[in-house]
Amino acid sequence: MQENQEFTADLDFARLQVKDSSYNKQLELDPSLIKNAYNKQERPRNYYCYRHRPDLVKERMADELANEELQKQISKLSLSEQDSIAHIFKTFSEAPPQNRCVILQGILTQCCLTQLSFVSNYIKDLIRIDFIVALPSEISVKILSYLDAISLCQAAQVSKTWKRMADDDVVWHKLCEQHIDKKCYKCGWGLPLLDQKQKRNGKRSALNETSIDSPVVTTCISAADAHNSMKYLQHHTSPVSSPSNTNPSTPNTPSYDSQDEIREVKRVRISEDKTIPLYPDIPFITLEPHKTRPWKEVYSERLVVERNWRKGRYTVRSIKGHTDGILCLQFNEEYNRLITGSLDKTVRVWNLDTGELIHVLKGHTRCVQALQFDNVKLITGSMDHTLKLWNYHTGQCLNTLEGHTDGVVSLHFDNRIVASGSADHTIKVWNFSTSKCTTLRGHTAWVNCVVIYQKSQLLSCSDDQTIRIWDLITKTCTKVFDSQETHVASIQCIQPTVLCSVFNSSSANTSHKERSKCNDPDKIDEPIVISGSLDNTIKMWSLETGKCINTLFGHVEGVWSLAADKLRVASGAHDKSVKIWDKDSGKCMHTLVGHGGAVNCVALGDTMIVSGSEDCEIRIWDFKH
């Protein structure tokens, strides 16, 4: 019985080994009254309970206040009563732990109900343990890492020690891992990645150095000047992300994720102290030292943007310059560039932040239907049956690809492979490494969109209302999506992405509610493709089965363009509106209106949506400011 009482008395004690018992001095009530009771030199103890740990005594200011109040009450008594109380204190302090329990038990048995009520109320605060302070810091951090952001901010207001623990980088890093660029399965929402913006802020972008005060109008160079353009492409091509990565910034193609970084131009050593660029026409990019920020600051920055997305708070900027409708566009926050193609036969390069016109690229003889760029090159496709390769930093046309017998409607490149879809019902795959061109046949109408998927496959959609998957190695069509569930009008755009799905959920009958939360350990990312059609609907298809998973209704006229990331989908339609959808639930979150004509193209980024319309206007919907 005594052993159990001793064990209970020492329960939750923190084991801290010390060599003396100087902590007793901190428990004095009055040196003149009970000095002997608290200055007794006891045999040194190896372990102390939570209330008597020397390193924690100073943390409990409440004990000092209680001692002062007790001292005042004792001073009001007579000297004989004070001596009696001091003797009781001394006897109790000198008793071993097991005898203390016996003394307390005897005292409590003699107390009346009023005194027991007093004891019950008084010990409520005394038996509370500040576990964050008492436990090892590693365990405290582990406990705090299970809290959400609001709870962590509240915990930081408890004390200085709690604030230090709650603001620990390890805690906020785990919180960022749960939310950034994915949906948290606990709260059901995620945070934007903002990687391209951070890269631009952390590097001295060579693109800004090449901009000039006045617009430059250029035309195509001669065939002799473009003789070495193939060699230029082989040396200046940087890989772009596969369509499975979801950080898109163009309506017809996926964008460039964190792997799509600015490459340093190769340099050739000619002496110990001198170097020259291997390609002098491309600016050399100097990297600045990497600066780290607290994870709490990273989380807070992205939380502001995410709240704006959820609540539909944004600012709108308008850019004008084209003289006819805008058919295609792409922007990149890292390079601070926006490039647009139009019915006026021109391609224009803009400063994304300021809206300043940098270059006007002339060379196509008919409207520009498609374009894509990376940090080095720009490729455009036109209804004049050609594709053109540009150095958009200087505005120079490097090469013209001919082969289609009708207009080029769509294109997509990945590294040194370019795929183009045409009004001649064919798809051509241009390989710049081997200088070969392959033709894929199977569609029976205009090929409106092509996307290279995982480097070895190609996705395409057409006016013939089909979506096809092609093998780029065997040059054959491997799958045609379910014709019974397909669109009832021409398919204008497709966008590969991923959808959070339950394990073994290959059946199309799986409930959409099971797909509404991401970052869940019981779920996986299922590759899908999203399609938009002139039948006013948007459909989601399983890439594995070719079955329709979900159909989104909302537009009242045909859908011309789509863009998607891991959190949302943006669509532009003939009804002059842009809609933002929750990708997993299929719910329409916001509708953006303001264009005076059909929205032909949309691009989606972490902080903004850019749209181009038949009204010759580019609108930037900025959710960061």
Region 167-185: mean pLDDT is 82
165 and 71 within one domain = no
Nearest Cα residue to 593 out of 555, 539, 536: 555
Q: What is the pLDDT of residue 133?
A: 84
Pairing of strands 216-218, 357-362: parallel
Q: What confidence category does residue 117 fall into, taking pLDDT thresholds of 50, 70 and 90? A: very high
d(CA 33, CA 359): 90
What are the pLDDT digits (tens) for 526-559? 899 999 999 999 999 999 989 999 999 999 999 9
Q: What is the DSSP string of 206-274?
A: HHHHH--SS-EEE-BPPTTTTTTHHHHHHHH------TTS----SSSS----TT-PPPPPPEEE-SSS-
Q: What is the pLDDT of residue 223?
A: 37
Region 212-218: mean pLDDT is 38
590 and 492 within one domain = yes
Tokens of 578: 């842009």
The pLDDT of residue 362 is above 50:
yes
Vertex 572, ends 566 and 574: CA angle to 5°? 160
Q: What confidence category does residue 187 fall into, taking pLDDT thresholds of 50, 70 and 90? A: low
619 and 567 within one domain = yes
What are the pLDDT digits (tens) for 23-70? 343 334 444 444 444 444 444 445 667 666 766 665 555 566 677 888
Task: Give 467's Cβ-side CA count (13 Å radius).
Answer: 31
d(CA 132, CA 137): 8
d(CA 262, CA 250): 18
What does the DSSP 8-state code read for residue 512? G
Q: Which residues contact 167 (CB under 8 A, 6 or more apart)?
A: 156, 294, 296
- Whether 372 is covered by a domain: the verdict is no
- Whether 392 is covered by a domain: the verdict is no
- Whether 192 is covered by a domain: the verdict is no
Q: Radius of gyration over alpha carbons of the chain, in Å?
A: 35
Q: What is the pLDDT of residue 195?
A: 62
582 and 490 within one domain = yes
- Whether 140 is covered by a domain: the verdict is yes
Q: What is the pLDDT of residue 473?
A: 92
What does the DSSP 8-state code read for residue 30? -
Tokens of 153: 């901010």
- Whether 568 is covered by a domain: the verdict is yes
- Whether 272 is covered by a domain: the verdict is no
Pairing of strands 608-613, 417-422: unpaired
Judge contact between 480 and 502, C-beta under 8 A: no
Which residue spans within 481-547 are E strands per DSSP? 491-502, 523-533, 537-542
| pTM exceeds cut of 0.85 | no
147 and 102 within one domain = no
| Domain boundary residue, one of 179, 196, 218 | 179
Region 185-199: mean pLDDT is 65
| Domain boundary residue, one of 111, 146, 179 | 179
Q: The CATH number of the domain where 153 resides is what?
A: 1.20.1280.50
Least confident of 165-169, 192-196, 293-297, 302-306: 192-196
Q: What confidence category does residue 282 fall into, taking pLDDT thresholds of 50, 70 and 90? A: very low
Pairing of strands 537-542, 548-553: antiparallel
556 and 578 within one domain = yes
Nearest Cα residue to 188 out of 311, 312, 310, 314: 310
539 and 557 within one domain = yes
Q: What confidence category does residue 201 fall into, taking pLDDT thresholds of 50, 70 and 90? A: low
The pLDDT of residue 10 is above 60:
no
CA 478 to chain centre: 34
151 and 113 within one domain = no
Output the CA–CA distances (angstroms, integers) from residue 488 to 121, 287, 485, 574, in the order listed: 74, 51, 9, 17
Taking each helix axis as running N to C, give the angle between helix 79-94 and helix 97-109, from 0 to 180 degrees, rounded to the nearest 10.
Answer: 130
591 and 567 within one domain = yes
| Domain boundary residue, one of 141, 163, 179 | 179
Q: Which residues contact 86 (CB under 8 A, 6 or more apart)?
A: 33, 34, 36, 37
Tokens of 412: 């997509």
Judge contact between 318 and 618, C-beta under 8 A: yes
Judge contact between 407 and 382, C-beta under 8 A: yes
What are the pLDDT digits (tens) for 467-523? 999 999 999 999 999 777 889 999 999 999 988 754 444 444 444 444 444 455 555
Domain tally for the chain?
3
The pLDDT of residue 292 is above 70:
yes
80 and 162 within one domain = no
The pLDDT of residue 245 is above 60:
no
Q: The CATH number of the domain where 554 resides is what?
A: 2.130.10.10
- Whether 553 is covered by a domain: the verdict is yes
In 96-241, which residue ranges form alpha helices assigned H by DSSP? 97-109, 113-126, 131-134, 137-144, 149-155, 160-166, 169-179, 195-202, 206-210, 229-236
| Secondary structure of residue 293 in the 3-state scheme | coil
| Secondary structure of residue 323 in the 3-state scheme | coil
Pairing of strands 568-573, 577-582: antiparallel
Quick one: CA dihedral 456, 459, 464, 465, positive or negative?
positive
Q: What is the pLDDT of residue 175?
A: 86
| Secondary structure of residue 377 in the 3-state scheme | coil
How many residues would you count in the chain? 625
The pLDDT of residue 354 is above 90:
yes
171 and 76 within one domain = no
Mean pLDDT estimate for the chain: 78
Enclosing domain of residue 143: 132-179
597 and 530 within one domain = yes
Region 600-616: mean pLDDT is 95
Tokens 């021409």 sit at which residue?
Answer: 490
- Whether 215 is covered by a domain: the verdict is no
Compute how many other C-beta atoms are within 10 angstroms of the C-beta atom of residue 170.
Answer: 14
